[in-house]
Amino acid sequence: KAGVTQTPRYLIKTRGQQVTLSCSPISGHRSVSWYQQTPGQGLQFLFEYFSETQRNKGNFPGRFSGRQFSNSRSEMNVSTLELGDSALYLCASSLRSSGNTIYFGEGSWLTVV
Amino acid sequence: KNEVEQSPQNLTAQEGEFITINCSYSVGISALHWLQQHPGGGIVSLFMLSSGKKKHGRLIATINIQEKHSSLHITASHPRDSAVYICAVDNNNDMRFGAGTRLTVKP
């Protein structure tokens, strides 16, 4: 069974640009969540989707957005990139929302210059 | 005060030692997760707990809901256990993370 797949793995963007990251969950998983990890702030919750609906959102500005498609694949977008957005962005999937084992992808390393 | 507190921040042990990492939280939770992160970024879920105790190989995780406290134990530690261990609380789809415990096990 394939794990959680994130693309791209590494990318470099310039301040002011936007970026879209993709996440394919484990087959049959309907919940996809996104996280940001930085050396200073650690792991922080961005948002969680279940059956194409955003169920919860962390404390991030509106520049961070996401969506989930009918096949459970998810994308997150960051607009007007800032240097501080440089981070490892992790996606995780689980069978259902809340109270289930979560499976993480390898992450997308974003560098903003 | 952070909602999820882990201790210690850093831990160095000799191979074979018994290791304990602690996690205290201040929010209501539906579940608590223990995660392992190796250099390079990949995160693996070790345990998901809502009550009691779970064991997997040399790893044991316990949770006390009344005291809002969980512990991760590693018996007979090995250098391959060297990683960052992260406690995460699931508060109805809103995950909060501890800062992590960096464990180094020396041969």
Residue A1, pLDDT score: 64
Q: Which two tokens stand for residue A100?
A: 């289930």
Q: What is the pLDDT of residues A50-86, one digit of tens each?
A: 999 999 899 999 999 999 999 999 999 999 999 999 9
Confidence of residue B92 (pLDDT cuts 50, 70, 90): confident
Nearest residue in chain A measured CA to CA from B30: A99
Query: Does A90 sit within 8 Å of B41, measured CB to CB?
Result: yes
Q: Regarding beta strands A5-7 and A19-24, do their DSSP bridges make them parallel or antiparallel, or are they unpaired?
A: antiparallel
Beta strand extents in B50-99 (DSSP E only): 52-56, 59-64, 69-74, 83-90, 95-97
Percent of chain A with pLDDT over 90: 87
Residue B63 has pLDDT above 90, yes or no: yes
Q: Please indicate whether, in this complex, the C-beta atoms of B97 and A104 are within 8 angstroms of each other.
A: no
Are A45 and B95 inside 8 Å of each other by CB?
yes
Query: Measured between alpha carbons, how far is residue B21 from residues A13, A76, A107, B7, B18 in Å?
Result: 38, 33, 25, 6, 10
A39 touches chain B (CB under 8 A): no
Percent of chain B with pLDDT strictly greater than 90: 84
Query: Is the predicted pLDDT of residue B41 greater than 80, yes or no?
Result: no
Query: Which pLDDT score, from 0 to 100, does residue B58 have?
Result: 97
Number of A–B residue contacts, CB under 8 Å? 60
Query: Which chain A residue lies closest to B92 (C-alpha atoms)?
Result: A98
Q: State how far the Cα of B1 lies from the Cα of A36, in Å rounded to an integer.
A: 21
Instruction: Write the residue in B45, B50, B94 that is nearest to A102 by C-beta.
Output: B45
> For residues B38-58, b (16+ Cβ closer than 10 Å) or e, as one string?
eeebebebbbbbeeeeeeeee
Distance CA B41, CA B84 (A): 10
The pLDDT score that the predictor gives to residue A100 is 81
Q: How high does pLDDT run on average in chain B? A: 94
B42 touches A at CB < 8 Å: yes
Q: Does B45 touch chain A (CB under 8 A)?
A: yes
Q: Chain A within 8 Å of B27 (Cβ-Cβ)?
A: no
Contacts with B, A 42-71, CB within 8 Å: 42-45, 48, 50, 55-56, 58
What is the pLDDT confidence band of residue A22, given thresholds at 50, 70 and 90? very high
Higher pLDDT, A63 or B40: A63
Nearest chain B residue (CA) to A31:
B93
The chain-wide mean pLDDT, for chain A, equals: 94
When pLDDT is averaged across residues B55-82 and rounded to a whole number, the result is 96
Q: What is the mean pLDDT of residues B81-92?
A: 93
Q: Check A102 against B93: CB less than 8 A apart.
A: no
What is the per-residue pLDDT for A98?
A: 67
The pLDDT of residue B74 is above 70: yes
